[in-house]
Structure 1
Amino acid sequence: MRTPLPGLELAVPLIAAPMAGGASTTAMVTAAAHAGGVGFVPAGYRSTADVAERIAAVRAAGVPFGVNLFAPPPVPVDPDAFRRYADDLESDAATFDLTLRDAALVEDDDQWQDKVDLLLADPVPVVSFTFGIPDRRTVAALRRAGTLTWQTVTGPVEAQAAADAGVDALIVQAAAAGGHSGTLSPHRPLPELRLGDLLAAVRARTGLPMVAAGGIGTAADVAAAGRAGAAAVVVGTVLLRTRESGISATYRAALAEGARDTVVTRAFTGRPARGLRNDFIDRHTARAPLGYPAIHHLTAPMRRAAAAAGDPERLHLWAGTAYRHAREESLAETFGRLYQGAGV
């Protein structure tokens, strides 16, 4: 990779993505560091106390790491649209003896300020943000505490806004990425730029170091990101089948099958995310309202039940376009085959 990441020494320019919801385990974070890269503790969906425990566990391993925060603002849902969607999902919920018709409409900011306060009181090497850009005061406070700040962006306009907020580096995420898009405009279609073209567009807008994300599954992909100016790459989907991954057996089996296409949907969470196409996505994407995290909270009980029941048709199977390159192996082996031969 041509451009260094100031303040972070990496023997291997690979970063294990912060996959919220259980995929990114403490073992994955520490394994990424032992393999020469770095991993991130995902703070999303977890209580501040739980995040503190996970930070302590990784810190006890004596390795560099980062923490990812879901930054506000959330995307409010229209109450009438929420109720209609809850009614639409009733038959899916009934499969698991659940009901969603009377589910509470929950809007929250994922304990944003409490988590920021935790990271100011107990600083970590790197903090990354997604879904929103923090204000300059928050970024400056974290930097004064000795923490590097990285912002997920999906285009040059977002990159400029992040630079204006004072962050240290950009995570440039293409639409090919699995899971939630970090877009700041979830009501708009995701830009379908290839990762290399997206990196070029962002590089033309700001001089900040770039970390590439989205659709990276091979050594050739890593090398291409380096040629496009990335200092490192973030990989997530390609790690989902590793021994350190915390995903369910149902999820693993769907990935291993390799027969499904990936599509972008907001049917599960009210925010655009890429996953393996299934029956739930086909039936509900067109009617799903925009609204995060309200729709996430609405569907969460059904998704947990689907995972436990071995039902891949009602489970969010987040995956990027390169998911077929994921293998049953250790994270170190995955990092090895991504880095060796990349020529970076």
Structure 2
Amino acid sequence: MFVTPLIAAPMAGGTTTAELALATQGAGAFAFAAGGYKSAEQLAAHIAPLRATGVDFGVNLFVPRTAPLDAGHVAAVERYRRELRATAARYGAEIPDELPGGDDPRAKDFWAEKVALLLADPIPVVSFTFGLAPAALVDRLHRVGTRVVASVTSVPEALAAVESGVDALVVQHANAGGHSAAFLKAPGSGAGSGVGSATGPGAAAAIQRTLPGLVADVRAAVTLPLIGAGGIAGPEDVKAVLAAGAQAAAIGTALIRTDESGARAVHKDALADPVYKHTAMTRAFTGKPARALVNDFVRDHGATAPEAYPEVHFLTAPLRAAAAAANDPRALNLWAGSGWKAAMDGPAAAVIDGFLGGL
């Protein structure tokens, strides 16, 4: 399905710019644009330069939650709102009293509008994360010539994705930076904890499976093409994923510090700052488990953040914006995979060349 063994993963929130996608594409990777947190109009503008190249590319969309929060989670969000006010006050930020909900398209990440865009003006590949696209939508995308990729984190999720009719799977390990793609709860997985396993000295015991091990498990269960993702720091990691049965490997954190990345300078600097020694899975920033460098915000709020996405995302957005304006990394979501120390600055093409040249 992919003519290159290297995928430039979509990083939402501004990190994957059109310039970054084009640079990785030009250097020989398959580029994914990040559709998350964009309106349909913003997405159309974002992918226009990629369309113009005539080279295959992909777009990633967030699958929205379909059910409202139950009363217990609503109460937990309200408790978290009160808890965050003291931290927000230190940055001169206000935690919102009202959150997008109901028919507000922001609550669904403009899902309907973006799906309509990609059906009316098709692109080569669409990938989905945070859940599975309905089988009927997968069929509609196929009928307009689009191949469909689902993100999974386990064998049960992979089997469910196969039933939806997708063409390939991104197999994401917990070592991946940013949000987990998990959509099925695994007994004893710890997915509900506010702060999960750290990476750093002694962390190996906390991670039960390697990415190659997870890829091998999924490879044994399904026949679809696989893309391995999570903690890939260099060519040797790519080789291990390919040897386990994947067709390609995806990199994300390795591109955050590059010139074309839209990540904030404070985020790029934090990835190179020796003061940060660990990453952890945390719900503190968005209400969905995501791997980030462990900073004050993770330590202060990780244990109490409710499982409520996107509500927590909207709660913390003004606080995070204020911390960014102050160039203060202590309250920012410093997304980072377990291989963050290998992330290099400079042109994105050089990073891609380094990976591909080592295969």
TM-score by length of 1: 0.93
Is 2:92–2:322's contact at 8 Å kept on the other side of the alignment?
no
Specify the code of the residue in structure 2 equivalent to 1:234: A
Alignment partner of 1:300 is 2:317: yes
Q: Is the 8 A contact 2:94 2:318 kept in 1?
A: no
Q: CA deviation at 1:291?
A: 0.3
253-262 vs 81-90, greater mean Cα deviation: 253-262
Match of 1:323 among 306, 317, 340: 340
The correspondence of residues 221-232 of structure 1 with structure 2, limited to 5 A, is 221-232=237-248
Specify the code of the residue in structure 1 equivalent to 2:14.
Answer: G
1:27 and 2:30 are equivalent in the alignment: no
Q: 1:130 to 1:176 in 2, by over 3 A?
A: same
Of residues 285, 293, 305, the one that matches 1:276 is: 293
Report the equivalent of 1:197. Answer: 213
Q: CA deviation at 1:73?
A: 2.3
Is 2:74 the partner of 1:82? no
| Contact 1:21–1:45, Cα closer than 8 Å, also in 2 | yes
Deviates more, 1:55-64 or 1:65-74: 55-64
Q: Where do 1:1-344 residues align within 5 Å?
A: 5=1, 8=2, 10=3, 12-73=4-65, 76-77=68-69, 78-100=73-95, 102-107=96-101, 108-185=107-184, 188-190=189-191, 192-260=208-276, 261-342=278-359
1:81 deviates by: 1.1
- Distance in 1 between residues matched to 2:311 and 2:76, nearest whole Å: 11
Query: Which residue of the partner structure matches residue 201 of structure 2?
Result: none
What SS does structure 2 have at the residue aligned with 1:263? strand
Residue type at the aligned position of 1:144: R
Q: Is the 8 A contact 1:171 1:213 kept in 2?
A: yes
Amino acid at match of 2:37: Y
- Aligned counterparts of 1:214 and 1:186: Cα–Cα separation in 2: 19
Q: Aligned partner of 1:297: which letter?
A: F
CA distance in 2, matches of 1:130, 1:304: 25
CA displacement at 1:284 relative to structure 2: 0.6
Question: In structure 1, what residue type is equivalent to 2:271?
Answer: L
In structure 2, do the counterparts of structure 1 residues 216 and 275 end up closer, same or farther at CA, with 3 Å as the change threshold? same
For residue 122 of structure 2, what is the amino acid of its counterpart?
Answer: P
Q: Is the 8 A contact 2:178 2:335 kept in 1?
A: yes
After superposing the two structures, state which structure 1 stretch, 20-29 or 53-62, moved more: 53-62
Distance in 2 (CA, whole Å) between partners of 1:325 and 1:14 is 17
Cα distance in 1 for partners of 2:63, 2:94 equals: 30
Contact 2:39/2:113 (<8 A) preserved:
no
Count of residue pairs the alignment pairs up: 333
Q: Give the deviation of 1:61 after TM superposition.
A: 3.5
Deviation at 1:75, TM superposition (A): 7.2
Q: What code does the residue aligned with 1:82 have?
A: V
Q: What SS does the corresponding residue of 1:114 show, helix, strand or coil?
A: helix
The SS at the match of 1:40 is strand
User: 2-side partners of 1:186 and 1:160: how far apart?
Assistant: 14
| Structure 2 CA distance for partners of 1:74 and 1:294, relative to 1, 3 Å | farther
RMSD across aligned positions (CA):
1.5
Structure 2: runs of 5 or more not aligned: 102-106, 192-206
Could you tell me whether the CA contact under 8 Å between 1:172 and 1:198 is conserved in 2?
A: yes
User: Which runs of no fewer than 5 residues in structure 1 stay unpaired?
Assistant: none
Indicate the larger mover: 76-85 or 285-294.
76-85
Worse overlay, 26-35 or 170-179: 26-35
CA distance, structure 1, for counterparts of residue 358 and residue 251 of structure 2: 17
Distance 1:57 1:244 in 2: 14
Aligned letter for 2:34? P
8 A contact 2:228–2:249 mirrored in 1 = yes
TM-score, normalised to structure 2's length?
A: 0.89
